[in-house]
Amino acid sequence: MSSKTVEGNYFEDFFLGQDIRHATPRTVTEGDVALYTALTPNRFVIPTSEEFARSIGYPKAPVDDMVAFHVVFGKTVPDISLNAVANLGYADGKFGVPVYPGDTLKTVSTVIGLKENSNRQTGVVYVRSVGTNQHGQTVLEYVRWVMVRKRNPDAPTPAPHVPQLPSAVAVQDLIIPEGLTLTKYDTVLAGSPHLWDDYEVGEKINHVDGMTIEEAEHAMATRLWQNTAKVHFNQHTEGKGRFGRRLIYGGHIISLARSLSFNGLANTFKIVAINGGRHANPTFAGDTVYAWSEILDKAEIPGRTDLGALRIRMVATKNLECGDFPLKTDDNKDFLPDVLLEFDYWVLIPRK
């Protein structure tokens, strides 16, 4: 049999300190932006309006921050998670320079942790991935951990090492785009009158709207970001697996929830950090996604009076409206079965 094809890395193929340069850099186009809008209910104004973006200091409309995330993430899949059982979580993510149509992104990952599971069938791989543009500028870096199958259950593995990760990105480490000025920020055009000053720590917001995931849509989203994980696109193999069908790519759930959060958080115009995130339960075509958010913290930006930062917990559910803000069981130990995502992130928002 030919050895020219690649079956992807299994758990025993990884080692601490391993650097992986991922193939096929990708040039982001306006077509990506249009398709992203078609696949999500995204209405945030900055990536939508060239005129609005220029009015607050961008040279033109950047792509949505989640588009940058998906492109950077998608590059890593063939090497990190092609043989994954599940993507488990995120931490210590920082967005760098904005991404514009025409930019070319590539990604490098470093293995920073390994831990074999007790069943010896799988293990958890921790990687720090860094995405850069054609100028070598960082557009995004983050840590994620993923459960990966072993090729051989009896294969020896290294001693477990779980990296120490911060609970949140420090405010002083948030990167503010150069030239950004919000003196001409138009709340009417942005879609909401509510600014940084109007939100309170502990406040919870039901985003009300829901979106049903169609089979064709989630498959298109997976292919759009060149995510080759078979759990998302290969029904022939997944039909024989635990669920009997393909799982929805977790990043698509993040995008849906973020897009739904426009209703209540329309002026949170830029994601600047990912503090943490967990995919709590699987999602399938036909499920309807809802979302709610909680304000975990508010921060002033040093030297700025025109904008501040909000730290937000965003929760996505399936087939469950969020009026009572569902999250965990009564003993607070486990996620409710209808909860899909808990995502902790910092955003920028104008001040009065």
Q: Take residue 306 and report the two structure tokens written for it.
A: 């025109």
pLDDT above 90: residue 1:
no
Rounded distance, CA 107 to CA 138, Å? 10
Predicted confidence (pLDDT) at residue 8 exceeds the cutoff of 60 = yes
Q: Is residue 50 part of a domain?
A: yes
Instruction: Give residue 2's pLDDT.
Output: 58
Do the beta carbons of residue 320 and residue 338 sit within 8 Å?
A: yes
Structural domain contains residue 160: no
Q: What is the C-alpha separation between 209 and 227, in angstroms, rounded?
A: 27
pLDDT tens-digit map of 278-298? 999 999 999 999 999 999 999
Mean pLDDT of 147-176: 94
Please say whether the beta carbons of 308 and 176 come within 8 A.
Answer: no
pTM over 0.75: yes
pLDDT band at residue 86 using 50, 70 and 90 as cut-offs:
confident
CA distance 183 to 267: 14
Q: What is the mean pLDDT of residues 3-9?
A: 87
**Maximum CA pair distance of the chain?**
67
Which domain, by its residues, includes 120? Answer: 11-154+165-350
1 in any annotated domain: no
Question: For residues 334 and 92, what is the distance between their CA atoms, to the nearest angstrom?
Answer: 23
Structure confidence by residue, pLDDT tens digits, 26-45: 999 999 999 999 999 899 99
Look at residue 4 and tell me if it is in a domain: no
Tell me the pLDDT band of 332, cut-offs 50, 70 and 90: confident
Q: What share of the chain is helix, strand, coil (3-state, %, to 5)?
A: 20, 30, 45
Q: Which residues of 8-37 are buried (b: 16+ CB within 10 A; e: fewer)?
A: bbbbbebeeebebebeeebebeeebbebbb
E strand map for 117-198: 122-132, 138-149
Residues 122-153, buried b or exposed e (16+ Cβ, 10 A)? bbbbbbbbbbbbeeeeebbbbbbbbbbbbeee
Instruction: Let me know if residue 159 belongs to a domain.
Output: no
Cα 84 versus chain centre, distance: 17
Which ranges constitute the DSSP H helices of 49-197?
50-55, 65-80, 187-190
The C-alpha atoms of residue 251 and residue 333 are separated, in whole angstroms, by: 24
Residue 128 has pLDDT above 90, yes or no: yes
The tens digit of pLDDT for each residue in 228-269 reads: 888 888 899 889 988 999 999 999 999 999 999 999 999 999
Backbone dihedral angles phi then psi of residue 234, each to the nearest 5 degrees = -110, 95
Distance, CA of 173 to CA of 129 (rounded, Å): 18
Tell me how many domains the chain contains: 1
By percentage, how much of the chain surpasses pLDDT 70? Answer: 99
* CATH code where residue 48 lies: 3.10.129.10
Backbone Cα Rg of the chain: 20
The residue type found at 46 is I
Place of tokens 């399938």: 284
- Residue closest to 222 by CA, chosen among 253, 243, 245: 253
How many helices and strands (H and E) does the chain possess? 9, 12
| Bridge partners of residue 19, in order along the sequence | 110
Question: Does 6 fall in a domain?
Answer: no
